A and B are shown apart, each in its own frame.
Chain A
Amino acid sequence: MAITFPSIEWLNVLKDKLNNDSRYNKIARNWEGDLIFDIQPAGNLVHSITMYLDLWHGKCRLVDYAPEPGKHPKPTFVLRSPYNNFTSILLGQLDPMTAMMTSKLKVEGNLAYMMRNVPTVLDFVRCCREVTSDIL
């Protein structure tokens, strides 16, 4: 079954992937921080979408698709970008670090934490890529 990004299915499959991927579990074992994807309209995405993930010690404790504004009030990170940039990252056309350094992906939150955990960030993106089989 094609898993389309963004969707509830995609988010749930990603949660399972993160919880069962031994490489991610190991690399991200010290990671403590939840995040919100704030996907801005662009291309085939007409309305903005938010997705919440609570990542903790190599596992994903909770996901929430299109949560009510303010439901997760102080996430460690908000990653904001037009839909096309998210899909470029997911399809392997754009390196996530490049996207961040060149402002294609806006990052709100603790930059020090993000920059010292590059392997975790890159492996998280690997998992995202591996569960993405379709985009809008």
Chain B
Amino acid sequence: MQPILKIDLSTGNTEEYKIPEEWERGFLGGSSLAARLLYPYLTKELNPFSPIAPLLFINGPLTGTSGPTVGRFVVCGKSPATKLWAESNCGGFWGPELRFAGYDGLWVTGKAKMPVYLWIEDGRLEVHNADHLWGKDTYKTQELIKQEIGHNGIHVAVIGPAAENGVVFSGIFCDHGRTAGRTGLGAVMAAKNLKAIAVHGKQNLPLVHLEEYAGLRSESNRTLKNDNEARILRELGTAGAANYSEYLGAMPAKYYHQGGFELVDNVSGSTMAEKLLSGQSACHACVIACGRVVRLEDGAKRKGPEYETIVSFGPNLLINDLAEITRLGELCDRYGMDTISTGNTIGLVFYLFESSIITTKDTGGLVLRWGDPIAVRQLVRMTANREGIGDLIAQGSLQLAKYFNAEDEAVQVNGLEVAYHDPRGVSGMALSYATSPRGACHNQSDYFFVDWGHTQPELGIDYFPRHSEAEKSANVARHQDWRTVYNAMVMCIFANIAPQMQVDLINAACGYHWTIEEMMRVGERGWNMKRAINNRLGLTAANDKLPKALLEPLPTGGTEGFTPDIKKMLVAYYNARSWDHETGFPTEQKLSELGLDDVATDLWE
């Protein structure tokens, strides 16, 4: 990979950092490599908002190569929401453009004296004043920076007002609504007085076997384009399977307390395609194009919501109007907030209001009735601006619940709000959420696909019925290792390509001779590296758990009253992982086996 540009915003010093070759080979790139690089700096005492906190933007070895769905980058650091490992990857065009500019990463520390933005073009860095951009929304900021620089080809990663106001689920945005949404890294960027990073470049990419790679790229993209799953994503968006998810009880409704959502078809990808869709949008060189472009009654084209946003502001809050959901998603994008955590935490407020734990005294007179988009819009605004109860929402569901002495009611894991794949419908998600290195995340292992029957026999990822439990624990671990490879590449999880093709692409790009098993080992190493970081930050076996709501049976709907036996699942999972049952640490032997002796020494001596 290319060098990482280190930038200290306090001093203005910069340095080109060459990534050690053995770490590239051992961790591949993306978030796994970031974990290896940041390991010494992420301490328990580190305040994520302090100037010394690192914020690392990093690519994978295939980013920008026009391979299957590899136009992505990832941002890593310490999360202000969870105080644990933070990573959030993002599509669009920014990652490839950074690569074309000659860098595979930006390692930002320090704090600028006043708001600034960075402009990087073909290896040259300029720091620009951003006073006039502070307070502007994410779309306007991108537009203004493009005008200022006067260059059509640039791409800009930005934060919005929510990040400036320290909302712990604020993200980093680029290219019209592409987001590194989770874990609050937008607020970390804001704490550095860094409003945006604009990039452009024309340099060639470092591919070891260019011709071989070109052939594999064409073949894999052709196959992917004709894949049924890709066709569903292209034609219907990520909410294409919403009806099926609801049918299985995997789509949460009414803040995870209602079994099923009768009006699911009002908010499905099918309905969006038939009533609102005016086009598709794609990340760099992606043949899937899952992004939605919709037209509402005002005639303007805007980004259409994806599955998580639809459920977050739809069934989760009992709203069944796609146009309203679209507007709420756009509002979050403009303020720069993660729609999963925003909708989830607002859902908690509605739930506590219904339970009379929160009253109109707390809401400033706002009456909260399920299904009322006007009240939700008001709460979104109050959150971004930290007004009234919005100041509590801005701290995330766990802190809000603690404030009202209702900690058990928050549907979160380790401070990150649960995404919209209910483990009572698809049990593998119980382990995905409980053991994910960044809290209740569905992207570290989208195991619901496997529970739907999407197996990978070449990887030993087999089918277990959707309500099976401990018997699938080792399978989940295997799936996590595989997705860790995706997050290292950095490849979109919607790329349904054969594992042999995946390893062939890596080998051609990097000049390796890996087998599938060696590739999976790299995934396992990355997973354990992130676990070790979290262990150093204070995470133990006691953190691996599910919130109360997900362990209560729903009398109606597709869950069929099932609740996962998470304790039994975890015992089998720890055995499969060779993790110590008492501490939750990877065993010394496991770490050593993965070549992480220094980490083993830190954890165990």
A and B bind: yes
Least CB distance from A77 to B in Å reads: 13
Residue of A nearest to B463 (CB): A98
Which A residues are in CB contact (< 8 Å) with B452?
95, 97-98, 101
Residue of A nearest to B274 (CB): A112
Does B268 count as interface, using CB distance less than 8 angstroms? yes
Q: Which of B232, B242, B244, B454 contacts A111 (CB 8 A)?
A: B232
Encode contact with A along B278-322: 1 for CB under 8 Å, 0 otherwise. Answer: 000000000000000000000000000000000000000000000
Which A residues are in CB contact (< 8 Å) with B229?
101-103
Does B247 count as interface, using CB distance less than 8 angstroms? yes
What's the Cα separation between A30 and B452 when bound, in Å? 25
- Chain A interface size range: 20 to 34
What's the Cα separation between A117 and B265 when bound, in Å? 9
Least CB distance from A47 to B in Å reads: 25
What's the Cα separation between A101 and B240 when bound, in Å? 11
**Contacting pair A116 B228 (CB below 8 A):** no
Q: Which of B227, B240, B454 contacts A115 (CB 8 A)?
A: B240
Does B243 count as interface, using CB distance less than 8 angstroms? yes
What's the Cα separation between A103 and B269 when bound, in Å? 19
On whether A118 and B454 interact (CB within 8 A), knowing A100-B228, A111-B232, A111-B235, the answer reads no
Does A127 count as interface, using CB distance less than 8 angstroms? no
Which A residues are in CB contact (< 8 Å) with B449?
101
**Contacting pair A106 B270 (CB below 8 A):** no
Q: Which of B227, B231, B271, B453 contacts A116 (CB 8 A)?
A: B271
Least CB distance from B377 to A in Å reads: 27
Residue of A nearest to B245 (CB): A118
What's the Cα separation between A127 and B256 when bound, in Å? 33
Residue of B nearest to A96 (CB): B453
**Contacting pair B228 A115 (CB below 8 A):** no
Q: Which of A95, A107, A116 contacts B270 (CB 8 A)?
A: A116
Residues of chain A in range 108-136 having any CB-CB distance to chain B below 8 Å: 111-113, 115-119, 122
Which A residues are in CB contact (< 8 Å) with B241?
101, 115
What's the Cα separation between A112 and B521 when bound, in Å? 39
**Contacting pair B247 A115 (CB below 8 A):** no
Encode contact with A along B230-241: 1 for CB under 8 Å, 0 otherwise. Answer: 011001100011
**Contacting pair B453 A98 (CB below 8 A):** yes
Q: Which of A95, A111, A113, A115 contacts B453 (CB 8 A)?
A: A95
Which B residues are in CB contact (< 8 Å) with A113?
270
**Contacting pair A102 B232 (CB below 8 A):** no
On whether A101 and B274 interact (CB within 8 A), knowing A112-B235, A115-B241, the answer reads no
Encode contact with A along B426-464: 1 for CB under 8 Å, 0 otherwise. Answer: 000000000000000000000001001110000000000
What's the Cα separation between A84 and B231 when bound, in Å? 23
**Contacting pair B228 A107 (CB below 8 A):** yes
**Contacting pair B228 A102 (CB below 8 A):** yes
Query: Total A-B residue pairs with C-beta atoms closer than 8 Å?
Result: 66
Residue of A nearest to B226 (CB): A103
On whether A101 and B243 interact (CB within 8 A), knowing A111-B235, A112-B273, A115-B268, the answer reads no
**Contacting pair B454 A112 (CB below 8 A):** no
**Contacting pair B270 A102 (CB below 8 A):** no
On whether A103 and B453 interact (CB within 8 A), knowing A112-B269, A115-B241, A116-B271, the answer reads no
**Contacting pair B236 A112 (CB below 8 A):** yes
Residue of A nearest to B232 (CB): A111
On whether A103 and B227 interact (CB within 8 A), knowing A98-B454, A112-B270, A115-B268, the answer reads yes
Which A residues are in CB contact (< 8 Å) with B247?
118-119, 122
On whether A101 and B228 interact (CB within 8 A), knowing A116-B243, A118-B243, the answer reads yes
Which A residues are in CB contact (< 8 Å) with B273?
112
Which A residues are in CB contact (< 8 Å) with B270?
111-113, 115-116
Which B residues are in CB contact (< 8 Å) with A105?
228
What's the Cα separation between A118 and B270 when bound, in Å? 12
**Contacting pair A101 B236 (CB below 8 A):** no
What's the Cα separation between A106 and B496 when bound, in Å? 15
**Contacting pair A102 B454 (CB below 8 A):** yes
What's the Cα separation between A113 and B269 when bound, in Å? 10
Which B residues are in CB contact (< 8 Å) with A100?
228
What's the Cα separation between A107 and B198 when bound, in Å? 43
What's the Cα separation between A63 and B306 when bound, in Å? 39
On whether A101 and B268 interact (CB within 8 A), knowing A111-B236, A115-B240, A118-B243, the answer reads no
Which B residues are in CB contact (< 8 Å) with A103?
226-229, 496
Least CB distance from B498 to A in Å reads: 11
**Contacting pair A116 B232 (CB below 8 A):** no
Least CB distance from A117 to B in Å reads: 8
**Contacting pair A106 B228 (CB below 8 A):** yes
Which A residues are in CB contact (< 8 Å) with B243?
115-118
What's the Cα separation between A67 and B247 when bound, in Å? 35
Which A residues are in CB contact (< 8 Å) with B268?
115-116
Which B residues are in CB contact (< 8 Å) with A106?
228
**Contacting pair B453 A102 (CB below 8 A):** yes
Question: Which of the listed residues B227, B228, B243, B454 has the most CB atoms from chain A within 10 Å of its own CB?
Answer: B228
Residue of B nearest to A107 (CB): B228
Which A residues are in CB contact (< 8 Å) with B236?
111-112, 115
Encode contact with B along A74-113: 1 for CB under 8 Å, 0 otherwise. Answer: 0000000000000000000011011011110111000111
- The 5 A-B residue pairs whose C-beta atoms are closest, nearest first, are A98-B453, A112-B270, A116-B270, A103-B228, A118-B244
List 19 other contacts, CB 8 Å, given A107-B228, A116-B271: A97-B452, A100-B228, A101-B453, A102-B229, A102-B454, A103-B227, A103-B496, A105-B228, A111-B236, A112-B271, A112-B273, A115-B240, A115-B241, A115-B242, A115-B269, A116-B243, A118-B243, A118-B244, A122-B247
Chain A residues with CB under 8 Å of chain B are: 94-95, 97-98, 100-103, 105-107, 111-113, 115-119, 122
Q: List 28 A-B contacts (CB under 8 A).
A: A97-B244, A97-B452, A98-B452, A98-B453, A100-B228, A101-B228, A101-B229, A101-B232, A101-B241, A103-B226, A103-B228, A103-B496, A111-B236, A112-B270, A112-B273, A112-B274, A115-B232, A115-B241, A115-B242, A115-B243, A115-B268, A115-B270, A116-B243, A116-B270, A116-B271, A117-B243, A119-B247, A122-B247
